[in-house]
Amino acid sequence: MALSPATAVAPGDVLLEVDNLRTYFDTVSGTVRSVDGVSYQVQAGRTLGVVGESGCGKSVTALSILRLVPTPPGRFAGGQIRYRGTDLLSLTEKQMRQIRGNRISMIFQEPMTSLNPVLTVGRQIAETVMVHQKLGRRDAYRRAEEMLRLVQIAEPERRVHEYPYQLSGGMRQRVMIALALACNPEVLIADEPTTALDVTIQAQIIDLLRNLQKTLGMGIVLITHDLGVVAECCDRVAVMYAGRKVEEASVTELFDNPLHPYTRALMGSMPSMNASTQRLAEIPGMVPAPSELGKGCSFAPRCTYATERCRVDAPALASQGADHVVACHEVARVAAQPALQALSSPAHPAALNGVQA
């Protein structure tokens, strides 16, 4: 490989730290608190999974890191985003431009709309390299070809001159990854990179990301709603609900011992995690509109463990053992219940040695 891993960084070093970030949007109908005090860290060579449903603020957090949030109507109402110690929220736009695509990169969900349809694929990759690394045209195109080879696109010399419409969905997503990694960033933010892809292509892309991380050593933030992807790719997982982080733990700890009622409810409602004879757990009610958040725990209206205290007093994240934080007043009661009984039930057609656990 012609690319070398990021300089002077050891696996496990904290590269990016989101610290109590608050991103609000001012709209006609009030202030929408999309991100309301979220903190997490991204370490070199490790993948952090951010899990939640639509509207929980996981994408807005990622966009905030790169300051891609339109400011009006958005605004950063508090907190810091520290990259290598520097607060990104305090940088000028010019300084941010040197970070985007260069030190911190992002890949998006829809590969077709994220690539410029009227430029060749090679041109798009070469452009970012020319801007950030000051390479000449020929060198830039050579680097583009290298990148395409790195993401396992066959015949990169030919593909470099093709347009996005000539490529399949999976290949476009690889091009996006190539584009994001062209300048050897230290942090890669992947916002639902496989949701729009077929499952076999998804498997290839997940595989690719893991291999690239091993080779290049960047830290990855993987935003997704698919717990299967999380289990395969991530080292740590943060669960978000209505703009806040409600639980964070290492991936094995989270799956073995989910403590927040929302995490449990989420796992209970996924068919992939439950026996086919089990009725799926429904979470009553709906995700609250971001403008409706009150003083108490935002999950209280739908929570089976909710008490009066939960409705008026928003719980803070508290440590619940080795590297596991949960924001819940009733953790003790939740922990007393076994999680996911279905999987160990003898009535389950346990002879299935296929995909599911």
Partner 1 sequence: MSALTQQPAPASPLLEVRDLKMHYPGAGGWFKPRRKVIQAVDGVTFNVARGETLALVGESGCGKTTTGKSVLRLIQPTSGSVKLEGEEILALTPEQMRNRRRDMQIIFQDPYASLNPRMTAGDIVGEPLRNYPMPGGRARVDELAWLFGKVGLRAEAMKKFPHEFSGGQRQRLGIARALALRPKLIVCDEPVSALDVSVQAQVINLLMDLQQEMGIAYLFVAHDLAVVRHISHRVAVMYLGRIVEVADRDTLFSQPRHPYTEILLSAVPVPNPHKPAQRKLLQGDPPSPANPPSGCRFHTRCPLAQPICRETQPPLTERPVASATGQQWVACHFR
**In the complex, which residues of this chain contact partner 1 (CB under 8 A)?**
53-54, 168-171, 198-204, 206-207, 225-232, 251-252, 255, 265-274, 276, 279-283, 286-287, 349, 351-357
Terminal-to-terminal C-alpha distance of the chain: 37
Distance separating alpha carbons of residues 121 and 115, to the nearest angstrom: 8
Residue 7 or 353 having the CB closest to partner 1: 353
Shortest distance, CB of residue 92 to partner 1, whole angstroms? 38
Nearer to partner 1 (CB atom), residue 116 or residue 168 = 168
Q: Which is nearer to partner 1, 56 or 325 (CB)?
A: 56
**What are the φ and ψ backbone dihedral angles of 55, each rounded to 5 degrees?**
90, 0
Q: How far is the CB of 189 from partner 1 (least distance, A)?
A: 20
| Least distance in angstroms from the C-beta of 284 to partner 1 | 9
State the nearest-atom distance from the C-beta of 275 to partner 1, in Å.
Answer: 9
Candidates 357, 355, 325; CA nearest to 258 is 325
Dist. CA 266–CA 226, nearest whole Å: 10
Structure tokens at 221: 């933030």
Q: Which is closer to partner 1, CB of 157 or CB of 256? A: 256
- Return d(Cα 337, Cα 333) in angstroms, integer: 7
CA dist., res. 61 & res. 242, Å (int)? 12
Q: Which is nearer to partner 1, 118 or 286 (CB)?
A: 286
Nearest distance from residue 344's CB to partner 1, in Å? 13
Q: Residue 29 or residue 54: which is nearer to partner 1 going by CB?
A: 54
CA distance 61 to 67: 9
CB of 116 to partner 1, least distance (A): 22
- Looking from the CA of 145 toward its CB, the CA atoms found within 13 Å total 11
Instruction: Name residues whose C-beta falls within 8 Å of residue 346's C-beta, 6 or more positions apart in sequence.
Output: none
Q: What would you report as the CA-atom Rg of the chain, rounded to the nearest whole angstrom?
A: 21
Question: Of 105 and 202, which has the nearer Cβ to partner 1?
Answer: 202
How would you classify the pairing of strands 47-51 and 219-224?
A: parallel
- In this structure, the number of other CB atoms found within 10 A of the CB of residue 332 comes to 11
Residue 128 CB, shortest distance to partner 1, in Å, is 25
Distance CA 43, CA 63 (A): 18
